[in-house]
Amino acid sequence: MKYVVFAAACAALLGAGAAAAPKGRAPVSYTSAQAWRGRLDFYQNCAECHGGNLGGVTGPALAGPDGNLQWQTGKDIYAEISVEMPVGDGGGLPVGEYVDIMAFLYQQHHKPAGNKPLDVRAIEADAEPMGL
């Protein structure tokens, strides 16, 4: 009997998770290679202000409980960084570098890598909060 209760509880939990996911919208996908390139781009263009560990220096923290990205959506983050960053040269990076930096940010916010490369269209469709 306890196995039936356990199985029913597991099924309820799995069903609740499936119901909470947005219908027809797959999670954002990026590749590990994009996140690696994004890490390098971030260190070259962003770490001076945001810190190598994204903890903030002269700019705000971008990860962790004090990070300012956790409640922002991917599309909002991309809209800001691709126009405003880096400071003094807003919009000055190639589009591919901004996309790779977004892959790095997704990785740092515990969104798993996949097989499908990230692109601008996928980022601009991402209306989910980044999370911790």
Give the amino acid at 85.
M
39 in Cβ contact with 113 (< 8 Å): no
Tokens matching residue 48 = 């001076």
Tokens matching residue 130 = 């980044």
CA distance linking residue 127 with residue 21, whole number of Å: 12
| CATH numbers and ranges of domains, the chain | 25-124 (1.10.760.10)
31 in Cβ contact with 39 (< 8 Å): no
Q: What is the pTM of this model?
A: 0.81
Q: 71-108 pLDDT, tens per residue?
A: 999 999 999 999 999 999 999 999 999 999 999 999 99
Residue in 95, 114, 106 with CA at minimum distance from that of residue 26: 114
Residues 6+ apart with CB under 8 A from 27: 111, 114, 128
Among 12-21, 24-33, 68-77, 89-98, whose mean pLDDT is lowest?
12-21
112 in Cβ contact with 80 (< 8 Å): no
CA distance linking residue 77 with residue 120, whole number of Å: 12
Residue 66: pLDDT band by 50, 70, 90 thresholds? confident
Q: What is the pLDDT of residue 25?
A: 58
Residues paired with residue 129 on neighbouring β-strands, in sequence order: 73
Q: 32-48 pLDDT, tens per residue?
A: 999 999 999 999 999 99
